[in-house]
Amino acid sequence: MGIKDYQRDFIEFAIKNEVLKFGEFTLKSGRISPYFLNAGLFNTGASLSKIGKFYAAAVNDSGIEHDIIFGPAYKGVPLACTTVIALAEAPYNKDTPYCFNRKEKKDHGEGGTIVGSPLKGKVLVIDDVITAGTAIRESVQIIEDCKAQLAGVLVAVDRQETGKNGDMSAIQEVERDFGVPVKAIVTMSHIMEYMEEQGTYGAHLAQMRTYREKYGV
């Protein structure tokens, strides 16, 4: 699949805001990555509004049927909020319920761990990345505890690289373990395709290719 307009726009926006950087970055796994995307840097009103539009485009593109959007605490909370705001506006005009979880259970007021709409039906989880899949497993537990069904997961970027043990990526492991699609606004392949189109990323693109040969799925 070639790169789509909204994906190209997302990459340009991420580079401009220094959310996507090229160079040398040490990951938690110890690997030296030639690029890094830190979605936590979408940290102003304007950038959060924009990222919501990219997530909404990816939700629409994914074809994942869902009744509600769930944002896992903490990073997923603003992402879920901005996504449903964007979905409510043109061209989608789709008023979608959303909720998120508290990390701490409240014992006063309305109580419970879910804030927002009731967590029921088919649930689309929105988060920034899947690295080890731990956060998604926690979300699945919350969804199952509420007798709802996981419909799929949407993240900002799929690094398309193998996990610590074996030949599958963390995203592929989640797809295998839960039998649902995991989609991303962009993948490593999209980023490389964008770099090729621009023709100005010679050395960085060469590093990306080397990295993909070594760790790619």
- Active-site residue flag, 106: yes
Could you read off the pLDDT of 86-101 as tens digits, one per residue? 999 999 999 999 999 9
- Report the candidate in 168, 167, 139 with the shortest Cα–Cα distance to residue 152: 139
Could you read off the pLDDT of 155-192 as tens digits, one per residue? 999 999 998 777 899 899 999 999 999 999 999 999 99
Q: Which residues does 70 contact at the CB level (< 8 Å), separation at least 6?
A: 76, 80, 98, 99, 100, 101, 119, 123, 124, 125, 126, 139, 142, 143
- Active-site residue flag, 108: yes
Annotated active-site residue in 108, 122, 147, 214:
108
What's the average model confidence in pLDDT over 8-31?
94
Annotated active-site residue in 16, 106, 164, 214:
106
d(CA 205, CA 192) in angstroms, rounded, equals 7
d(CA 125, CA 152) in angstroms, rounded, equals 6
Q: What is the pLDDT of residue 109?
A: 55
d(CA 217, CA 215) in angstroms, rounded, equals 7
Q: What is the pLDDT of residue 129?
A: 87
Q: Is the pTM of this model over 0.85?
A: yes
Q: What is the pLDDT of residue 1?
A: 66
